[in-house]
Copies of this chain bind each other. A is one copy, B any other.
């Protein structure tokens, strides 16, 4: 009985975390859990968990709690991890190569089906079962295959241009690892940017702040 209102991004961003914790519980053989127990585990309020889940439907059972396996599966469907969307990765430098090997694309809803770079030294190399193709071949590849999302690991200066080219090829979703905030006009476009340096700077502030408050607490 999935509901059909708008769901805030705050809620959406918590869903993968629920999915992750439920996966861990499942592995540990836990079959049922109450919102209260899950809240304690995840450092949230029980209220928030129930509110969040009820954006999508009533997956619990009064007096009992939630079936871990069932809820896990429901969230999988909510996120759409079962659709086998197809991803390509552009820019097989240090970072790109690391993601190919390290990120569990399949478990996160995407099949990685192509690697591209414009560096001749990399073209033809095989990484994790995929052969690096010439970046000039992207549009031909997109014409021949369905491509749902592009992972951008190119230099920041090339980010916008690369994204524009991909939009023209019909690719509307981006996982952006460049420093640059790409702009995409397409109505169906979605961009998920991971600004690593921004996170590191925020950490820097927090370290300062923690020290400030602990030293002022001393007095």
Copies of this chain per assembly: 2
Which of B20, B172, B197 lies in contact with A198, CB distance below 8 A?
B20
Which of B81, B102, B108, B190 lies in contact with A206, CB distance below 8 A?
B190
Interface bits A1-22 vs B (CB < 8 Å: 1, else 0): 0000000000011011101100
Residues of A160-202 whose CB lies within 8 A of B: 172-173, 175, 179, 181, 187-190, 192, 194-202
Count of interface residues, chain A, beta-carbon cutoff 8 Å: 60
**Given that A172-B210, A206-B12 are contacting pairs, would A108 and B17 also be in contact in the complex, using a CB cutoff of 8 Å?**
no
**Given that A108-B197, A197-B107 are contacting pairs, would A207 and B12 also be in contact in the complex, using a CB cutoff of 8 Å?**
no
For residue A28, which residues in chain B have a CB less than 8 angstroms away from its CB? none
* A61: interface (CB < 8 Å): no
For residue A179, which residues in chain B have a CB less than 8 angstroms away from its CB? 20
A94-B98, A149-B207, A194-B196 given; name 15 further pairs at CB < 8 Å: A12-B206, A15-B201, A15-B202, A16-B198, A20-B197, A80-B205, A81-B201, A94-B102, A103-B196, A103-B197, A108-B197, A109-B203, A148-B207, A175-B200, A189-B210
